[in-house]
């Protein structure tokens, strides 16, 4: 073999061996550095903070399934965060979201408002709704088994006085599917301790709030608790977040409850004039009133 070719082959072999050696050394150095970085990362102190487990819109009343713990770099922990060892998820239950929180976003103290703090009730209210408070008796409040977040129907019981001697009792469901915001001054933030409530704060529309202001002057109010299940096929139960209904859909008259209570005769009451003289009542049929016009004029001795 030509000596020159032999020298070239030898140099090439030495170069290949050198490249392999240096490549192997480089890869070992990169691996070593990567392991060192991982070791530093694992040994670096990490905190756990509470983050949103789902999208939380304004007005959300926090429960246990709304938050989860998330590992967070120690140097990135903000004083506004809820840190493991300093707070517990239970500390957030019952608080209300004041500003929207995205999925995975840290829970901050400024984004929440608690019972008793300024702006709590305004944060609980859905957009465009109002808070109205009604008085309750122990029976009307279902013995203390109504809690914030429940859905109820509002029943008005009152006496219809056609004349001084002619009175009828009626009960009518004036509102349906109304959300309870608070019972007395107790909201969901104060747990589910059973106590007899004297008032209930309801979430209503502006028009319903006007009606509430008049209803207590007409008669007494009671609440009827709605089921969480849709066993009866009620579309309101199927979608409990649907808006409340503010018109009377059902009613019960006194004679339907007791045979000793008089039955209201709508036809007789329509288009008549009642003249009351002491204990004597005289009814005069005008003959001109239609069935749609059911106004009655009562004339007493003092008129």
Residue 153 lies in a domain: yes
Model confidence at 257: pLDDT above 90:
no
- d(CA 198, CA 137) in angstroms, rounded, equals 6
Partners of 201 in the beta sheet? 133, 182
- Find the length of the chain: 303
Model confidence at 79: pLDDT above 60:
yes
| Domain housing 290 | 266-299
Is 0.75 surpassed by the pTM of this model?
no
- Helix or strand or coil: residue 75? helix
For residue 138 the two structure tokens come to: 């122990």
Specify the number of domains making up the chain: 3
- d(CA 272, CA 303) in angstroms, rounded, equals 17
The DSSP 8-state label assigned to residue 198 in this structure reads S
Q: Which residue has the higher pLDDT, 41 or 167?
A: 167
The DSSP 8-state label assigned to residue 87 in this structure reads B
Phi, psi of 176 (to 5 degrees): -130, 150
Are both 244 and 270 inside the same structural domain? Answer: no
Residue 242 lies in a domain: yes
- d(CA 297, CA 113) in angstroms, rounded, equals 55
Are both 179 and 241 inside the same structural domain? Answer: yes
Model pLDDT for residues 145-169, shown as the tens digit of each residue: 788 888 899 999 988 887 777 788 8
- d(CA 112, CA 95) in angstroms, rounded, equals 6
Q: What is the CATH number of the domain that holds 84?
A: 3.90.1210.10
Residue 36 lies in a domain: no
Are both 91 and 159 inside the same structural domain? Answer: no
């Amino acid at each position: 073999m030509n000596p020159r070719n032999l020298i070239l082959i030898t140099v090439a072999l030495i170069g290949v061996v050198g490249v392999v050696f240096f490549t192997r050394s480089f890869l070992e150095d990169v691996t070593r550095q990567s392991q060192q970085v991982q070791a530093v990362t694992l040994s670096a102190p990490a905190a756990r903070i509470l983050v949103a487990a789902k999208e939380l819109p304004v007005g959300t009343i926090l429960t246990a399934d709304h938050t989860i713990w998330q590992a967070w770099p120690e140097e990135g922990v903000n004083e506004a965060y809820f840190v493991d060892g300093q707070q517990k998820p239970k500390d957030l239950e019952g608080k209300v979201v004041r500003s929207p929180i995205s999925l995975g976003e840290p829970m901050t103290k400024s984004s929440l408002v608690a019972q008793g703090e300024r702006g709590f009730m305004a944060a609980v209210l859905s957009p465009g709704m109002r808070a109205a408070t009604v008085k309750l008796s122990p029976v009307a409040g279902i013995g203390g088994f109504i809690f914030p977040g429940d859905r109820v129907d509002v029943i008005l019981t009152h006496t219809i006085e056609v004349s001084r001697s002619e009175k009828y009792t009626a009960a009518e469901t004036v509102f349906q599917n109304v959300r309870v915001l608070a019972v007395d001054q107790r909201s969901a933030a104060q747990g589910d301790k059973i106590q007899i409530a004297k008032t209930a704060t309801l979430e209503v529309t502006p028009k319903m709030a006007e009606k509430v202001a008049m209803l207590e002057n007409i008669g007494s109010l009671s609440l009827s608790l709605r089921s969480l299940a849709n066993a009866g096929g009620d579309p309101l139960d199927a979608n409990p977040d649907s808006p409340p209904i503010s018109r009377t859909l059902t009613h019960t008259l006194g004679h339907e409850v007791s045979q000793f209570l008089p039955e209201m005769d709508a036809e007789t009451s329509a288009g008549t004039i009642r003249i009351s003289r002491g204990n004597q009542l005289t009814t005069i049929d005008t003959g001109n009133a239609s069935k749609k016009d059911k106004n009655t004029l009562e004339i007493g001795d003092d008129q």
